[in-house]
Amino acid sequence: MTMEFTCKEAVPMIGAYLDGELSPARAALLRPHLLECPACRNAAADGRSLQRWFAPLRESAESGELAVAVPSGFSARVARRAFAGDRGVRGEWAERSAPAREEGRILPFVLRLTAVAAAAALLLALGVQLASRPQSANLSADDRAALPLLQIQTELDRLNGVVPSPAAPAAEESAETRSQRGKKRAQPGR
Amino acid sequence: MELAPKDDLRLVRESLAGNQLSFQLLVERYEGRMFALVRHYTRNPVEIEDIVQDTFLKAFTRLPTFQEQSSFYTWLCRIAINTALDFQKRLGRNPVRAVEDPELALSPDGIAGSQPTSGRIPAPDARLERDEIARITQGVLEELPEIFRTVLVLREFEELSYQDIADVLGISIGTVESRLFRARARFKERLVALHPEFGEGWTS
């Protein structure tokens, strides 16, 4: 282990390194340390093991047991309510127990007939939206160009002397596949 | 994350101009991902539907404030997560926040798992079915304090970039990095605690 750069500094950076989110300058600090430190290489291997727990979760939520079915007609219903001035259930949740909430769905409909209530809600909504606008829009990711994940994993494999993990084949995927799927998922709609 | 922003933007503008069908298309485009996201906060289908519906209704009222250069999807994620947490709070299920968790309040020097030698995380057993692994992962996630669950869901499930996560949560990229680090350490710890059987036989 280099004296200048300790494990204590290295370990918290490994996740970002595997995510391809470490700036080139910081990656340049970490890489030589990984070359020298088997313990930190193990930590990097752990990071990849962890990713294998999440890939099946994504897949299962997309097409498996954990997929959540969207009720039919949901989008039409929501659009209709939005254009009728319905602003959501909000305050209802506080007062109602779960079993009573079914009947409570009528309340917004009644409320929206009241012009005064609508005007008050508009004012409230304006206040809320001003208060809750994202504050971090100006953050820059310029220095996070980072290495492509595939390159990082190849490099780690090399450092580790490449022993393919005994992990589930289903959960195993290349960084390339992962990034392609990421792009695919980015296309909205189902 | 590329999200066909031109199409989103067109639909947002048309919705603002009073086109109900355009808003319906916008909802249709993201409803599946919103249902999946909100499922990390409650398993009750009625509650999930209520939260997602409320998310879109809130989004509609806030549409005039949507910044055209930002991603509609991350903007929606932010509303959905806040709505889900708000919902939990109203039902008296207070999600554990970092400040209330003594272990999280430690200085960076005291972060659990910052020593590389502290145990290994097992990869999923090759004999497990995909849905089985997914159930285990979900079970561990549900045990984590909300602040850690959310950042892990955004990264590992939604596959958002650190910048997008920072935008959704209104925090800095540095905070995203350190929070993810702690969240992963905690996930690993809970995974091994809940399923010691996967720890056995795991060799590096």
**A76 touches B at CB < 8 Å:** yes
Q: CB B161 to CB A45 under 8 A?
A: no
Confidence bin at A114 (pLDDT 50/70/90): low
Helices H / strands E in chain B, number of each: 9, 0
Confidence of residue A86 (pLDDT cuts 50, 70, 90): confident
CA dist B10 and B7 (Å) reads 5
Instruction: Looking at the structure, give the CATH architecture of the domain made up of residues B98-199.
Output: Orthogonal Bundle (1.10)
Distance from CA of B171 to the nearest CA of A (A): 7
Q: Cβ contact (<8 Å) for B70 and A137?
A: yes
> Residue B121 and residue A182: Cβ atoms within 8 Å?
no
Name the one residue in this structure whose structure tokens are 């498996």: A64
The answer, for A131 touching chain B at a CB cutoff of 8 Å, is no
User: Using the beta-carbon criterion (under 8 Å), do A57 and B156 form an inter-chain contact?
Assistant: yes
Chain B residues closer than 8 Å to A7 by CB: 115-116
Which residues 78-107 of B have a C-beta within 8 angstroms of A? 78, 82-83, 86-87, 90-91
Question: Choosing among B60, B93, B167, which should be mutated to test the A contact, i.e. which has the most A CBs within 10 A?
Answer: B60
Residue in the structure block whose two tokens are 């193990």: A42
> What type of residue is B27?
V
| Residue B3 contacts residue B72 (beta carbons within 8 Å) | yes
Domain ranges of chain B: 5-90, 98-199
Nearest C-alpha in A relative to B92: A94
**Residue that is written with structure tokens 């499922």 in the block:** B39
Note whether B5-90 and B98-199 share their fold.
no
A31-54 in b/e burial notation, b at 16+ Cβ within 10 A?
bebbeebeebbbbbbbbbbbbbbb
- Measured between alpha carbons, how far is residue A174 from residues A53, B126, B151 in Å? 14, 17, 23
AA letter at A15? G
Q: Which of A5, A74, A143, A157 to mutate to test the interface with B (most CBs of B within 10 A)?
A: A74
Higher pLDDT, B107 or B169: B169
Flag whether pLDDT at A80 surpasses 80.
yes
CA distances from B96 to B20, B100, B105, B146, B149 (A): 39, 6, 13, 6, 10
Q: Find the mean pLDDT for residues A158-175.
A: 47
Each residue of B137-157: pLDDT tens digit? 999 999 999 999 999 999 999
Read off the tokens for A10. Answer: 């290295």
By CB neighbour count within 10 A (0-12 exposed, 13-18 middle, 19+ buried), where does B196 fall?
exposed
Predicted pLDDT of residue A5: 83
Tokens (6 digits) for B177: 């990095």
Mean pLDDT calculated for residue range A60-81: 91
Kindly determine whether residue A50 and residue B184, on different chains, have CB atoms separated by under 8 Å. Answer: yes
Least confident range from A38-47, B82-91, B124-133, B158-167: namely: B124-133
Q: Residue A159 CA to chain centroid, in angstroms?
A: 29
The reported pLDDT for the residue numbered B113 is 42
Residue B197: CB atoms within 10 A of its CB come to: 10
Q: What is the mean pLDDT of residues A169-177?
A: 42
SS3 B187: helix
How many Cβ atoms from other residues are within 10 Å of residue B92's Cβ?
Answer: 7
* A31-58: average pLDDT: 92
Question: What confidence score (pLDDT) does residue A151 get?
Answer: 64
B47 touches chain A (CB under 8 A): yes
B5-90 belongs to CATH 1.10.1740.10: yes
Q: What does the DSSP assignment read for B61-83?
A: HHGGG--TTS-HHHHHHHHHHHH
Residue B19 has pLDDT above 70, yes or no: yes
Q: Which of residues 6-25 of A touch B (CB under 8 A)?
A: 7-8, 10-13, 15-16, 19, 21
Complex ipTM value: 0.81
CB of B120 within 8 Å of a chain A CB? The answer is: yes
| C-alpha R_g of chain A | 25
If you average pLDDT over every residue of chain B, what do you get?
A: 84
What is the average pLDDT score of chain A? 68
SS3 for A27?
helix
Give A50→chain B minimum CA distance, Å: 7
